[in-house]
Amino acid sequence: QKEVEQDPGPLSVPEGAIVSLNCTYSNSAFQYFMWYRQYSRKGPELLMYTYSSGNKEDGRFTAQVDKSSKYISLFIRDSQPSDSATYLCARKGGSNYKLTFGKGTLLTVNP
């Protein structure tokens, strides 16, 4: 079983829709989770960083961690065409600081 599982999609939604992106992870020792956005042929950029369970909100983005079910989610409200990108979930390892990424979900927001 891979450490971080993510449905690669693709996911296509109309502008203004609420988008839900999800990942599951296998190791309950994981504590730090991140969501990155990657535009085509560009490096990833950090969207959200979460630690422990609960929600974290930043503008139109909400990150959610459910440690009991080992589930992490990213919600995008009022989605815009500029949100069209690949979204990658990641977890940070212990002392070695390495990141493990999910496969990424390709999102298209149609105007």
Partner 1 sequence: GAVVSQHPSWVICKSGTSVKIECRSLDFQATTMFWYRQFPKQSLMLMATSNEGSKATYEQGVEKDKFLINHASLTLSTLTVTSAHPEDSSFYICSARVQGVYGYTFGSGTRLTVV
- Phi then psi for 81, rounded to 5 degrees? -55, -30
Q: Does 57 bind partner 1 (CB under 8 A)?
A: no
Closest to partner 1 by CB, 70 or 92: 92
Q: How many other CB atoms are there within 10 angstroms of residue 83's CB atom?
A: 19
Binding map of partner 1 across residues 4-23, x = CB under 8 A, - = no contact: --x-x---------------
Kindly tell me which residue out of 12, 27, 58, 98 binds partner 1, with binding defined by CB under 8 A.
98
Cβ 41 to partner 1, closest distance in Å? 7
Judge residue 3's burial from the number of C-beta atoms within 10 Å of its C-beta, 0-12 exposed, 13-18 middle, 19 or more buried: middle
Kindly tell me which residue out of 21, 72, 88, 109 binds partner 1, with binding defined by CB under 8 A.
88
Kindly tell me which residue out of 16, 18, 46, 71 binds partner 1, with binding defined by CB under 8 A.
46
DSSP assignment of 3-45 equals SEEE----EEEETT--EEEEEEES-TT--EEEEEEE-TTS--E
Cα–Cα distance for residue pair 76/91, rounded to 1 Å? 20
The residues of the shown chain that bind partner 1, judged by CB under 8 A, are 6, 8, 32, 34, 36, 41-46, 49, 51, 88, 96-104, 106
